[in-house]
C-alpha cells in the first residue's frame, strides 16, 4: 500500500512538473496611440480549454500593430506604425518565458511611414519590414542577442493602380518563403506581389527575383500572403477585391491557379479583407473580412492541387477582425477584433475545419496582431 502511494505521489509530482515546464503564450500587438500606454500584451493560453490569463504588458512603443516571433522564441519583433516622419520603426523585445515578461532591447527607423508588417527569415538573421504609407520595404541584420542593426537596404516604389486607394505603392506584408531564399511583399497600391532573393553575402542583400513581381487582378489590392508548409502553394488575400488567390510556388515564382471569394454575397468596391492562415495540419485555410462582413471564412485545401473549397463561415464575434491566429495544437482559433476591442476564442473541429465559439472573450484596446507559441 505504501509503495503504491509513493508511486502515485511521484507520478503526480512528475505530471505537475511536465505541465509547468510547457506553457503556451499569446502575444498581442495593438494600436495604443501613445507610447506611454501599454501596447504589447502577454497572456498564458490553455491549450486544452482555450482560456486566456493576462500575465504582463509593455509600454514604450507607439502603435506596435504587428508582431513576429524569432525562430527560437526568445525575441519578439514589432513595427511601430506611425505616419509622422522619422517615427515609424522596428523594435526588438526579449521574452522571459519563466516570468512571462517582455523587455525592450533595440529600435531602428523603418525607413518609411506606417510600417505595417515585419517578418524574420528561418535562420533568425534578417528582419524584413513593409512600410505601408511610405511605399517601401526594408531589411535589417539581426544579432544573436536580438538586437536590430540599422537597415542594410531600403527599397522604395512609385507604382500605382486603378482605384482611388491605389495612387501610390502600399507594401502591406513582408513574408519569407519556407526555404528562406526568397521574400515576398504584397503591394496593395500597385496590385503586385513583389519578389526578392535573399543573398546574405552580396550587396545589395535583397535582389529582384525573376520575375520581380506577380501582377494581381487590377483593383484587387493584395494584402497578406501565406505559404503552405508542405505543398508547393502560396495563398494571397486581396483586401479590396475580397478574394483569395492560390499560386503554385517554385524557386521564387508564383503562378495563379485559382481565385475564390472571401466575402459575403454583397457587392462592394472595397471588401476590406484582412488576414489569412493555414491550419497546422495543412488541411484547411482561414481568411477574415472586416467592415460589414466581420466574418471568418473556412476552406478545405486539396492536398493534390492546393486549390480551395469553401466549407463554412462564422461571424468573428466582434467588429473589424484585423488579425487572427491558430494555436499550434490546431484546436483553437483566436480572433483580434480591432474596433470592438476584443479577442474571441473559437474551438476548431480538426476533421471538418469548422469553428464554434467557446464563450471566451478578452477585452483589450484595439488589438491588431496575435502570435502564439509553446515554450518549454
In this structure, of 18-22, 65-69, 102-106, the range with the lowest mean pLDDT score is: 18-22
Let me know: does 45 contact 362? Beta carbons within 8 Å: no
* Strand order across the beta sheet in which 332-337 lies: 321-326, 332-337, 342-348, 355-363
Residues 6+ apart with CB under 8 A from 309: 299, 300, 302
- Specify the pLDDT at position 266: 76
Give me the mean pLDDT over the 245-266 stretch. 97
pLDDT at 86 > cutoff 90: no
CB 285 within 8 A of CB 244: yes
List, edge to edge, every strand of the sheet that includes 153-156. Answer: 115-120, 126-131, 136-141, 153-156
Region 275-289 average pLDDT? 99
pLDDT above 70 as % of the chain: 94
What pLDDT, on the 0 to 100 scale, is given for residue 181?
A: 98
Residue 10: what pLDDT? Answer: 46
- Which has the higher per-residue pLDDT, 220 or 5? 220
pLDDT at 363: 99
Tell me the mean pLDDT in the region 172-184. Answer: 98
| pLDDT for the residue numbered 11 | 47
Which pLDDT value is given to residue 267?
Answer: 82
Average pLDDT for residues 72-101, to the nearest whole number? 93
Residue 321 bridge partners (DSSP): 337
Mean pLDDT of the region 196-221:
98
Binned at pLDDT 50, 70 and 90, residue 291 comes out as: confident
The residue among 1 and 372 whose pLDDT is bigger is: 372
Q: What is the pLDDT of residue 4?
A: 57
Mean pLDDT of the chain: 95
Phi, psi of 46, deg, nearest 5: -90, 110
Q: What is the pLDDT of residue 268?
A: 83
| Average pLDDT for 356-363 | 98
Q: What is the mean pLDDT of residues 215-232?
A: 98
pLDDT tens, residue by residue, 23-50: 999 999 999 999 999 999 999 999 999 9
Superfamily of domain 157-315: YVTN repeat-like/Quinoprotein amine dehydrogenase (2.130.10.10)
Amino acid at each position: 500500500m505504501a509503495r503504491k502511494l509513493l508511486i502515485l505521489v511521484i507520478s503526480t509530482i512528475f505530471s505537475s512538473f511536465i505541465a509547468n515546464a510547457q506553457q503556451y503564450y499569446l502575444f498581442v500587438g495593438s494600436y495604443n496611440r501613445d507610447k506611454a500606454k501599454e501596447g504589447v500584451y502577454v497572456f498564458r493560453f490553455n491549450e486544452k480549454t482555450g482560456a486566456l490569463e493576462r500575465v504582463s504588458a509593455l509600454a514604450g512603443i507607439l502603435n506596435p500593430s504587428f508582431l513576429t516571433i524569432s525562430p527560437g522564441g526568445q525575441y519578439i519583433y514589432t513595427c511601430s506604425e506611425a505616419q509622422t516622419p522619422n517615427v515609424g520603426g522596428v523594435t526588438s523585445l526579449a521574452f522571459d518565458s519563466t516570468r512571462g515578461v517582455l523587455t525592450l532591447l533595440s529600435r531602428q527607423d523603418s525607413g518609411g511611414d506606417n510600417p505595417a508588417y515585419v517578418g524574420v527569415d528561418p535562420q533568425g538573421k534578417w528582419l524584413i519590414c513593409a512600410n505601408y504609407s511610405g511605399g517601401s520595404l526594408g531589411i535589417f541584420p539581426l544579432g544573436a542577442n536580438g538586437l536590430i542593426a540599422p537597415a542594410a537596404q531600403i527599397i522604395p516604389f512609385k507604382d500605382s493602380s486603378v482605384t482611388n486607394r491605389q495612387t501610390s505603392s502600399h507594401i502591406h506584408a513582408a513574408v519569407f518563403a519556407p526555404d528562406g531564399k526568397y521574400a515576398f511583399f504584397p503591394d496593395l497600391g500597385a496590385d503586385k506581389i513583389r519578389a526578392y532573393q535573399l543573398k546574405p553575402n552580396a550587396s545589395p542583400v535583397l535582389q529582384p527575383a525573376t520575375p520581380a513581381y506577380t501582377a494581381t487582378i487590377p483593383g484587387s489590392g493584395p494584402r497578406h500572403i501565406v505559404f503552405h508548409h508542405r505543398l508547393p502553394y502560396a495563398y494571397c488575400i486581396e483586401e479590396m477585391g475580397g478574394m483569395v488567390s492560390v499560386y503554385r510556388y517554385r524557386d521564387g515564382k508564383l503562378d495563379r491557379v485559382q481565385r475564390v471569394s472571401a466575402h459575403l454575397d454583397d457587392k462592394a468596391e472595397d471588401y476590406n479583407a484582412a488576414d489569412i492562415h493555414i491550419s497546422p495540419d495543412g488541411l484547411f485555410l482561414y481568411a477574415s473580412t472586416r467592415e460589414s462582413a466581420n466574418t471568418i471564412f473556412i476552406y478545405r485545401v486539396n492536398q493534390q492541387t492546393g486549390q480551395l473549397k469553401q466549407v463554412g463561415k462564422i461571424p468573428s464575434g466582434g467588429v473589424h477582425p484585423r488579425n487572427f491566429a491558430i494555436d499550434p495544437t490546431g484546436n483553437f482559433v483566436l480572433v483580434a477584433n480591432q474596433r470592438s476591442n476584443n479577442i474571441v476564442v473559437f474551438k476548431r473541429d480538426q476533421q471538418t475545419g469548422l469553428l464554434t465559439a467557446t464563450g471566451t472573450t478578452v477585452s483589450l484596446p484595439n488589438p491588431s496582431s496575435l502570435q502564439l507559441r509553446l515554450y518549454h
